[in-house]
């Protein structure tokens, strides 16, 4: 058995291992945790691409790349295979987004970064341009915190709150129901106000405003996984192939509605 987990560095660009947080409220998921969880490996995976990949963009940056659920899930499964070799008597289960554990809280607990007012994890190497995943195991793994993070809080400069056109980032807490990224992904049509705000941002899926104005994202390392460099799609149209894309789960009806909403913007400009 190896106590050094450094072999995971070849698979996960930024990760940490910590004790399983017993007592946390679990979220519903179709995938079960190991019966006696003792440790968690948390990974923060960067997806920010060089600027030239975003020409004509009408989706949030996380949606320009291939579906991160698949990409990160495949990486986590690679890590699990290695871990099972060293801990053959233990169980391992991996999650990305659809997790029973509160992922941002867990990443903070593991020392990967801090929670910003925009409710996202902020890391020192990659800013908030990361997606999260974790491996939960019955193995008693050595605690390995991330040594790159010296932040204690996001700084609370309030720039994300001021820039949010929907007022989703108040002083009390993040209001998901007002978040334009959340609204763009709902089946229910957006209100006229929200539709106008999405047109103003030229967004057919998601919103990046809070991340764009965050000072922690200035000079963020651009080091996406090679999988994310394969066939990025910045502009969503009615004919865009949606297989292996993060918006595929919602289906073409909602995507078409959002694209048609942007056409209303074009119609106004032409008249």
Active site residues: 97
Q: What is residue 45's three-state secondary structure? A: strand
3-state SS class at 260: helix
Looking from the CA of 134 toward its CB, the CA atoms found within 13 Å total 31
CA-based nearest residue to 204, from 247, 242, 267: 247
Please give the Cα distance from 271 to 142 (Å, whole number). 65
123: three-class secondary structure by DSSP: strand
DSSP strand pairing (121-122 vs 114-115): antiparallel
Q: Which residues, in sequence order, are CB contacts of 13 under 8 Å at separation 6+?
A: 43, 44, 45, 46, 223, 225
């Amino acid at each position: 058995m190896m106590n050094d987990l450094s072999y995971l560095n070849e698979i996960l660009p930024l990760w940490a291992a910590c004790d399983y947080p017993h007592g946390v409220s679990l979220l519903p998921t179709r995938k079960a945790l190991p019966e006696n969880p003792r440790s968690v490996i948390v990974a923060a995976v960067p997806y920010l691409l060089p600027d030239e990949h975003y020409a004509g963009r009408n989706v949030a940056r996380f949606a320009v790349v291939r579906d991160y659920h698949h990409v990160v899930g495949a990486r986590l499964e690679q890590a699990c295979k290695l871990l099972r070799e060293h801990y053959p008597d233990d169980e391992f289960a991996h999650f990305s987004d659809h997790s029973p554990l509160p992922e941002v809280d867990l990443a903070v607990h593991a020392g990967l970064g801090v929670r910003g007012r925009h409710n996202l994890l902020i890391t020192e190497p990659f800013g908030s341009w990361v997606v999260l995943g974790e491996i939960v195991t019955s193995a008693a793994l050595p605690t390995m915190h991330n040594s790159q993070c010296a932040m204690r809080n996001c700084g609370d400069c309030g720039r994300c709150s001021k820039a949010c056109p929907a007022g989703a980032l108040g002083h009390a807490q993040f209001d998901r129901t007002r978040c334009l990224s959340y609204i763009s992904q709902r089946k229910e049509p957006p209100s006229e106000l929200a539709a106008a705000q999405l047109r103003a941002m030229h967004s057919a899926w998601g919103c990046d405003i809070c991340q764009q104005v965050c000072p922690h994202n200035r000079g963020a390392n651009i080091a996406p996984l090679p999988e994310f460099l394969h066939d990025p799609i910045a502009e969503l149209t009615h004919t865009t192939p949606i297989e292996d894309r993060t918006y595929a789960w919602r289906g073409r009806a909602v995507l078409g509605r959002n694209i048609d909403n942007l056409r209303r913007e074009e119609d106004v400009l032409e008249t």
